[in-house]
Amino acid sequence: MGSYPGLGEVAGKRVLVRSDLNVPLDGSTITDDGRIRASVPTIKALADAGARVVVTAHLGRPKGTPDAAYSLAPVAARLGELLGAPVAFATDTVGESARSTVAGLADGQVAVLENVRFNAGETSKDEAERGAFADELAALADAFVSDGFGVVHRKQASVYDVALRLPHTMGALVSAEIEVLKRLTETPERPYVVVLGGSKVSDKLGVIDNLLGKADKLLIGGGMVFTFLKAQGHEVGRSLLEDDQVPVCIEYLRRAEESGVEIVLPSDIVVDTEFPSGDTEPQPIVVPASNIPASSLGLDIGPDAAAAFAEALAGARTVFWNGPMGVFEVPAFAGGTRAVAEALTKIDGLSVVGGGDSAAAVRTLGFEESAFGHISTGGGASLEYLEGKELPGVKVLED
């Protein structure tokens, strides 16, 4: 039948694939199937080679016990649609249903096991408990393919411990993600511009710290910008603020100046007196970033800032973007995120959308994924790699 890179002949073998199928759900309706679509090529390649493919994944943060709200059943159904073939679904992770479902697979068929986080052993800090669960997962397969990039920064049973127990290799998705991240960290073409947004500075401390020595420009937007504005001595009204990070931001601004890295902060901000909700109509007002009213909170970068960010991106050869510029889900506060996404589609070089909310934003705002060089499936994993941290789920595959 066929072989798979790193595993050799897989026809007739049970191959456990750790995918990232952690998609947003509204009840049982999938609102963004990007991660499922990204997982298809590896699963299909294995099935086409005659493997009996056993997919394991998580969804949400259940507390180590079954919870119907986090069932992978809708995901298994969508995967079947995308593969154009039936996908069997086990109603447990490693129990009777999992064992009988796997035993019933013929060559080239695919099964999805129920949410791996329904078992406390998956995320346990206790190596023995995690190992015991990994033993049960490994018993269902002859080989392991790690293809869930969104979890390779986690030392979890289905990501790390299973790889110690089975012949293993990296899936096509993880391999492509690592290749792109190496280009961002080892040999970036210049100018190299990084755009960081999202709500908290504290989430991005390590990546800012590391990129101050690598990037040419850092563009800062989103909720995290208000801590930087405060560090410059500006009042930020009722905007999101991490007071304890102000001294860190002051130090970053100083270091950037010293090292010749340009940190670009927005010159204007879109504010409102309330955070958007379904109960009230937004009342957006554009104000200078240095003059946010005490009664208002910032919800997006302003139009002048959006234009300046687009201009800063225009000549870049390498761009990494992680985190929206504002509350992009509400049209009144989506302008900044839209401007950054639009600018990335015009990059003559490598443009990388760094997973999480940024990836959701480009799809929500109607951009074609093919317009970007690479859309990552793992925001947290991308950030940790860019911080210079070792990713356990990648390291274990290299041993």
Residues 395, 399: Cα–Cα separation, whole Å: 7
Catalytic position from the list 6, 183, 380, 389: 380
**How much is the pLDDT for 397?**
96
**61 among annotated binding-site residues:** yes
**20 among annotated binding-site residues:** yes
Is residue 399 in a domain?
no
Gyration radius from the chain CA atoms: 22
DSSP 8-state code for residue 31: S
**253 among annotated binding-site residues:** no
**How much is the pLDDT for 277?**
85
Of 132, 57, 126, residue with least CA distance to 93: 57
Alpha helices by DSSP H, listed for the chain, are: 34-48, 73-83, 96-103, 127-138, 172-185, 205-211, 225-231, 246-259, 303-314, 335-344, 356-364, 379-386, 392-398
Residue 86's domain spans which residues?
A: 3-172
Amino acid at 339: A
**How much is the pLDDT for 378?**
84
Q: Does 154 share its domain with 270?
A: no
Is residue 392 in a domain?
no
**Tokens in use for 145?**
């393919």
pLDDT in tens, 206-238: 889 988 988 999 999 999 999 999 999 999 999
**How much is the pLDDT for 2?**
87
Q: State yes or no: cis peptide before 188, omega within 30 of 0.
A: no
Catalytic position from the list 34, 121, 356, 378: 356
Choosing from 145, 172, 199, the residue where a domain stops is 172
**How much is the pLDDT for 396?**
97
Exposure of 146 in the CB half-sphere (CA atoms within 13 A): 34
Q: Does 141 share its domain with 264?
A: no
**81 among annotated binding-site residues:** no
Is-catalytic flag, 356?
A: yes
Residues 270, 171: Cα–Cα separation, whole Å: 42
Residues 40, 20: Cα–Cα separation, whole Å: 11
Q: Does 230 share its domain with 147?
A: no
Q: Does 110 share its domain with 194?
A: no
**How much is the pLDDT for 196?**
95
**356 among annotated binding-site residues:** yes
**166 among annotated binding-site residues:** no
Residues 65, 57: Cα–Cα separation, whole Å: 15
Exposure of 273 in the CB half-sphere (CA atoms within 13 A): 4
**117 among annotated binding-site residues:** yes
Is-catalytic flag, 35?
A: yes
Is residue 308 in a domain?
yes
Choosing from 172, 205, 220, the residue where a domain stops is 172
Q: Residue 120's Cα: distance from chain center in Å?
A: 23
Cβ 16 vs Cβ 29: under 8 Å: no
Is residue 397 in a domain?
no
Catalytic position from the list 35, 52, 155, 338: 35
Q: Does 265 share its domain with 296?
A: yes
Amino acid at 280: T
| The model scores a pTM over 0.85 | yes
Q: Does 211 share its domain with 305?
A: yes
Q: Does 8 share its domain with 148?
A: yes
Between the alpha carbon of residue 395 and those of residues 117, 153, 169, 170, the distances in Å are 22, 10, 11, 11
CATH of the domain at 102: 3.40.50.1260
**237 among annotated binding-site residues:** no
- What's the structural domain count of the chain? 2
Q: Does 41 share its domain with 73?
A: yes
Is residue 290 in a domain?
yes
What H or E segment, with its residue span, contains residue 244? none
Is residue 253 in a domain?
yes
**357 among annotated binding-site residues:** yes
Catalytic position from the list 200, 214, 255, 389: 200
Is residue 257 in a domain?
yes
Is-catalytic flag, 84?
A: no
Q: Does 225 share its domain with 358?
A: yes
**Tokens in use for 10?**
């897989």
Is-catalytic flag, 335?
A: no
DSSP percent split of the chain into helix, strand, coil, nearest 5: 40, 15, 40
Alpha helices by DSSP H, listed for 315-351, are: 335-344
**135 among annotated binding-site residues:** no
Angle between helices 34-48 and 356-364 in degrees, nearest 10: 100
Is residue 376 in a domain?
yes
Choosing from 115, 147, 172, the residue where a domain stops is 172
**238 among annotated binding-site residues:** no
Q: Does 197 share its domain with 259?
A: yes
Q: Does 205 share its domain with 108?
A: no
Mean pLDDT by 10 residues, the chain (399 residues): 91 98 94 93 98 98 95 98 98 98 98 98 97 98 97 97 98 95 92 94 88 93 96 96 96 94 97 89 96 97 98 96 95 97 96 86 91 89 90 93
Angle between helices 335-344 and 356-364 in degrees, nearest 10: 90
Q: Does 214 share its domain with 302?
A: yes
